[in-house]
Structure 1
Amino acid sequence: MPGRLLARRTPWIGLGVALVLVAAAFAVPPLTGWQVYARAPRSASDLGAPPLHGVWDPKLFGPGTIPAILVAWVGWRWFARWVVSARWWQLQSVGYVLGLMWLFSLALVDGPEGLSRVLGHSSEYLESARDVGSIGSLLHHYVDRMPIDSPGAWPTQPAGHPPLALLLFVALVRVGLGGSLAAGCVVTVIAALVAPLVLSTVRTLGAEDLARRVAPFLVLTPAAVFMAVSADAVFSAVAAGGLALLARGATAQRLTWVGWSAAAGLVLGAGVMMSYGLPLIGLVCLAVLVTARSWRPLPVAALAALLVVIGFALAGFSWWEAYPVLHDRYWAGVAAVRPAAYWMWGDLALLAISAGPLVYAGIAVLVPRVRGLAGVHHLHHDLRPAWTPAARAVVLLAAAGVLCVVVADVSRMSKAEVERIWLPFMPWITLAVALLPQKWRRWGLLGQLVWALAVQQLFYTSW
């Protein structure tokens, strides 16, 4: 009986932890006068809304509010049931369109500015992309312009990322999509690919039934509030694409695995050249290979990824030279006044805000399963799952996603802004929701949708 009672309470414990973290993260700074610097204040009276990188801005309705509510209703009442029996290609196609509508409608709660204001900001990529002439010169002098006191210093985002992120926006400028609204639409269209790519990976690894369970939570994620127009959502899509290709390489027959593995390495290498945080996705790569019980793609994918990094070095930009310069700029700026005593747990509250509190219920259920997978046999049988290959796949992938954020948090290179910085890891953590009981998933999805709408309506976010 105690084991059964604990099994029933485990999701509630996880959900409770999430809500307490969020409540404390919002309440502690104003109640104590603790200045935690989620962002630089614009005036003496500007307290912001830590832990979020934004401000309180409650609004009853915006242009996208009604469409967002309608998308949420369709997702909860129809899509969540339809995915169980739909053909796979239909699930992927409809899921992409529904997810894209969710992204656009949430962004448009703030009107067209919701799609244009972020990328139009001077700290973002577009302003710098419009000034780029020679790509070769850009790469050769990229590191020189990273220090905050250097001549022609890069704004925050170009300085904080390898050059492929900026080059993406250079390409948009050169094909005539360099306006902030047009670029925002392109980024959002790419961001909507994340859910189908993650689902493809899970299915390839033999867990199609669990992929169908979790599909509504990936398509209609609360993280959509921060994904639309965020370059980090593009990084998330690139990482998810690389992992989907790696799963193909690990499960393919005959020599086709070589091509899949090489393609995976090239895409994952491109991700590394977009974000200094994406090497952490290597933990999810290992989970893919362990799940597939195949290590043969590893040398091929690693070599292909290395070729991308070396190619940039030969062109003038060395990742390993740039990272220490970024570290120095990061700690010379706002990071130095962001107290670790707050952000070590405030970041975990941001994970609940962005991915939704139900994810913590999934993590709570995930923990005993990881212990079971690790050979801890003294757990009560109600806490030990039936170890099907599908359950093993989801446990490994979700656990790897959790490990990514733990490493990022403990390293202190993630202090604030993780509502967008951790976007590449969130869909893999969200897979843990598939382990929840059916009733939890049914009502939990509604809770996630309401949560996303509330965050969008209550705050003016910086992403």
Structure 2
Amino acid sequence: MPRERTARRAELVAVGAAIVLVAAAFIVPRIAGEQWRLSLYAAAAPIFGSWLPHIGWGTVPAIVLAAAVVVAGPAAAARLSWPRLLVTGYVAAVGWALSLALVDGWRRGFAERFTDPNEYLHEVPGVTDIPAMLRGFADRILDFQPDSWTTHVSGHPPGALLFFVLLDRVGLGGPTPAALACLLIGCSAIPAVAVAFDALGVREHARAALPYLVLAPAALWIAVSADAMFMAVAAWAVAILAVAARRASAPLAVAAGVLFGLTVFLNYGLVLMALPAVAVLIAGKTMRPLGYALAGAAAVVAAFALAGFWWLDGYHLVVERYYQGIATTRPFAYWWWGNLAATVCAIGLASVAALTRVPARLRAGDPAAILITAALCAVLLADASGLSKAETERIWLPFDIWLLAAPAFLPRPAARIWLTVQAAGTLLLVHLLLTNW
């Protein structure tokens, strides 16, 4: 009992500190000078969006779904058969993300999200020759050229644009199909986390975490952003590697490596997914899949290189492009901690509270704690890099999804309380702010 009281006290201290951090991140821009506030390039800093109190068609469904998960989620997660639980969790996560998007309206919140001229779809019609696009991709990264890529395309490796081009090629062109694809693929990260935990021998953690994953505040950016798709690819890479480690399966390890390879051609920053990858092998107490996974990843790198795009060239040009734009103006003195405040908004206070229990679990060798710690380290390294000033509530989704599983460590009797906290915080954000992504 004394140990549990100490743990609960630590939770409250962490939550209190997180609330202060988020409050400061919202308040400081309001009281600072106008010129400094404008330099943030985020009207609702630390969230990339604008202040707009509103309700919408998704308000009632979101509240009803949240109430259902709070009331019945923990019991259902403990009782349902494993396959039914994974399917139910996925469907509920899709419903939650879609409901939150519809608070902003069908067109504004969902169907037209990808019509912004800075988005990937802006460049899709101009890609008439995919091999030529890959060969010349790096030449168009830098800004202030007649044919410079638009902001999002230039800021990512060609795999991101290629995804939307291929969607268009198979008849799913346009903003609505793109939004649906990102939503449906992105939400598959929820069962991927559960599969990873199960493969590492902690299915009970997966069951406990699923209601929290379903009600993830990050769903605000899963619907709708391409980063949700990136998150799912990275999450399944981790999950398949975990299964490969358990089964000693070379084909699965190669498949995991291929997915890891693809992630770094979707987002340069996802090289940090190497930390969760290594964590999986440490948690699984085997390094046997490593060579096969590296071979799979190397095959992806080689394929893009043969097609004409060398990842390192793209990365160095992106860093240069980054400082051609608003990154030179956005103050790192605010964003290094503003980014963390945005992350708190994405993972919720329940995750913050649960992270205080991770060190003890880590000392006990808990596989889930090892994986969550690796994801947290990835977030901190990404923050320290200075290459993510703002918009991290979206950009860091591939890392956040593992932090969202941390509430599995919270006491089971308190599950409804913490789920209510997660849902209430998310509903408050979606009804007060209009997010840009």
**Shared fold (TM-score, shorter chain, > 0.5):** yes
> Do the aligned partners of residues 319 and 8 (structure 1) sit closer, same or farther apart at CA in structure 2, a change above 3 Å counting?
same
Which of 225, 233, 242 pairs up with 1:230?
A: 225
Secondary structure at the residue paired with 2:103? Answer: helix
- The alpha-carbon deviation at position 401 of structure 1 amounts to 0.9
Q: How far, CA to CA, are the matches of 1:419 and 1:315 in structure 2? A: 33
- The alpha-carbon deviation at position 439 of structure 1 amounts to 3.6
- The alpha-carbon deviation at position 245 of structure 1 amounts to 0.9
Secondary structure at the residue paired with 1:277? Answer: helix
- The alpha-carbon deviation at position 249 of structure 1 amounts to 1.1
CA deviation string 1:364-390 (max 9, x = no partner): 2223444xx2xxxxxxxxxxxxx3x6x
> Do the aligned partners of residues 2 and 219 (structure 1) sit closer, same or farther apart at CA in structure 2, a change above 3 Å counting?
closer
- Give the residue type in structure 1 aligned to 2:59: T
Q: How far, CA to CA, are the matches of 1:173 and 1:36 in structure 2? A: 39
Contact kept, 8 Å, 2:30 with 2:37, in 1: the verdict is no
Contact kept, 8 Å, 1:271 with 1:278, in 2: the verdict is yes
Secondary structure at the residue paired with 1:460? Answer: strand
1:8 paired residue number: 8
- The alpha-carbon deviation at position 36 of structure 1 amounts to 5.0
What are the within-5 Å matches in structure 2 for residues 160-175 of structure 1?
A: 160-175=155-170
1:278 paired residue number: 270
TM-score, normalisation: structure 1: 0.91
- The alpha-carbon deviation at position 344 of structure 1 amounts to 1.0
Secondary structure at the residue paired with 2:163? Answer: helix
What are the within-5 Å matches in structure 2 for residues 102-121 of structure 1?
A: 102-113=96-107, 114-121=109-116
Q: How far, CA to CA, are the matches of 2:71 and 2:7 in structure 1? A: 28
- The alpha-carbon deviation at position 37 of structure 1 amounts to 5.2
2:368 paired residue number: 394
- The alpha-carbon deviation at position 411 of structure 1 amounts to 1.3
Q: Does residue 151 of the first structure (1) align with residue 146 of the second (2)?
A: yes
Q: How far, CA to CA, are the matches of 2:288 and 2:118 in structure 1? A: 42
% identity of equivalent residues:
40
In terms of mean alpha carbon deviation, does 169-178 or 151-160 score higher? Answer: 169-178
What are the within-5 Å matches in structure 2 for residues 212-223 of structure 1?
A: 212-223=207-218
2:423 paired residue number: 449
In terms of mean alpha carbon deviation, does 269-278 or 167-176 score higher? Answer: 167-176
Secondary structure at the residue paired with 1:8? Answer: helix
RMSD: 1.5
What are the within-5 Å matches in structure 2 for residues 220-369 of structure 1?
A: 220-253=215-248, 257-369=249-361
1:422 paired residue number: 396
Contact kept, 8 Å, 2:122 with 2:150, in 1: the verdict is no
Higher helix share: 2
Contact kept, 8 Å, 1:102 with 1:220, in 2: the verdict is yes
- The alpha-carbon deviation at position 38 of structure 1 amounts to 7.4
Secondary structure at the residue paired with 2:356? Answer: helix
Q: How far, CA to CA, are the matches of 1:33 and 1:207 in structure 2? A: 50
2:60 paired residue number: 66
Contact kept, 8 Å, 1:249 with 1:260, in 2: the verdict is yes
CA deviation string 1:278-316 (max 9, x = no partner): 110110011100011010111110111011011101101
- The alpha-carbon deviation at position 4 of structure 1 amounts to 5.5
Secondary structure at the residue paired with 2:50? Answer: strand
Secondary structure at the residue paired with 1:83? Answer: helix
In terms of mean alpha carbon deviation, does 177-186 or 239-248 score higher? Answer: 177-186
Secondary structure at the residue paired with 1:73? Answer: helix
Which of 124, 147, 151 pairs up with 1:129?
A: 124
What are the within-5 Å matches in structure 2 for residues 19-34 of structure 1?
A: 19-33=19-33
Q: How far, CA to CA, are the matches of 2:270 and 2:162 in structure 1? A: 17
Q: Does residue 200 of the first structure (1) align with residue 174 of the second (2)?
A: no
Question: Which runs of no fewer than 5 residues in structure 1 stay unpaired?
Answer: 42-47, 374-386
CA deviation string 1:401-459 (max 9, x = no partner): 11010000111112111000000001111222111222433201111011111111111
Q: How far, CA to CA, are the matches of 1:179 and 1:39 in structure 2? A: 31
State the aligned residue count.
Answer: 435
Contact kept, 8 Å, 1:38 with 1:416, in 2: the verdict is no
Q: Does residue 440 of the first structure (1) align with residue 434 of the second (2)?
A: no
Contact kept, 8 Å, 1:36 with 1:337, in 2: the verdict is no
Contact kept, 8 Å, 1:38 with 1:53, in 2: the verdict is no
Contact kept, 8 Å, 1:103 with 1:225, in 2: the verdict is yes
Q: How far, CA to CA, are the matches of 2:58 and 2:223 in structure 1? A: 13
- Give the residue type in structure 1 aligned to 2:256: A
- Give the residue type in structure 2 aligned to 1:407: L
Question: Which runs of no fewer than 5 residues in structure 2 stay unpaired?
Answer: none
Q: How far, CA to CA, are the matches of 1:137 and 1:434 in structure 2? A: 48
- Give the residue type in structure 1 aligned to 2:144: D
Q: How far, CA to CA, are the matches of 2:291 and 2:368 in structure 1? A: 24
In terms of mean alpha carbon deviation, does 335-344 or 82-91 score higher? Answer: 335-344
1:381 paired residue number: none
Contact kept, 8 Å, 2:195 with 2:239, in 1: the verdict is yes
- Give the residue type in structure 1 aligned to 2:84: Q
- The alpha-carbon deviation at position 40 of structure 1 amounts to 3.7
- Give the residue type in structure 2 aligned to 1:64: G
Q: How far, CA to CA, are the matches of 1:183 and 1:103 in structure 2? A: 15
1:462 paired residue number: 436
- The alpha-carbon deviation at position 398 of structure 1 amounts to 0.8
Contact kept, 8 Å, 1:197 with 1:240, in 2: the verdict is yes
2:177 paired residue number: 182
- The alpha-carbon deviation at position 32 of structure 1 amounts to 2.1
1:377 paired residue number: none
Q: How far, CA to CA, are the matches of 2:106 and 2:3 in structure 1? A: 52
TM-score, normalisation: structure 2: 0.96
CA deviation string 1:172-215 (max 9, x = no partner): 11222212122111211111101001110001100001110111
